[in-house]
Amino acid sequence: MLPSGSTAASTLHVARTVARRAERELVALHRAEPLDPVVLAWANRLSDLLFAVALATNHALGVAEVPARYDA
């Protein structure tokens, strides 16, 4: 699915991209100064959760998702 849909879901997708960016920063920090692996796992799961909530929000609002095309 492509990030799209209702305003609420689009906002959740933006939050997901911010969470992914933070996750990349945590990984970079972890290389310099080891972090608890739970922190890295939590950051990864946060972005997964935001994606799932965005999909559920669109579904609850009756907004169709835009399927991704891989043949282009």
| pLDDT tens, position by position, 8-36 | 999 999 999 999 999 999 999 999 999 99
pLDDT at 30: 97
For 30-68, write each residue's pLDDT tens digit. Answer: 999 999 999 999 999 999 999 999 999 999 999 988 776
Closest CA relative to residue 54, chosen from 29, 19, 21:
19
pLDDT at 7 over 80: yes
pLDDT at 67: 76
Phi, psi of 6 (to 5 degrees): -70, 165
pTM exceeds 0.85, yes or no: no
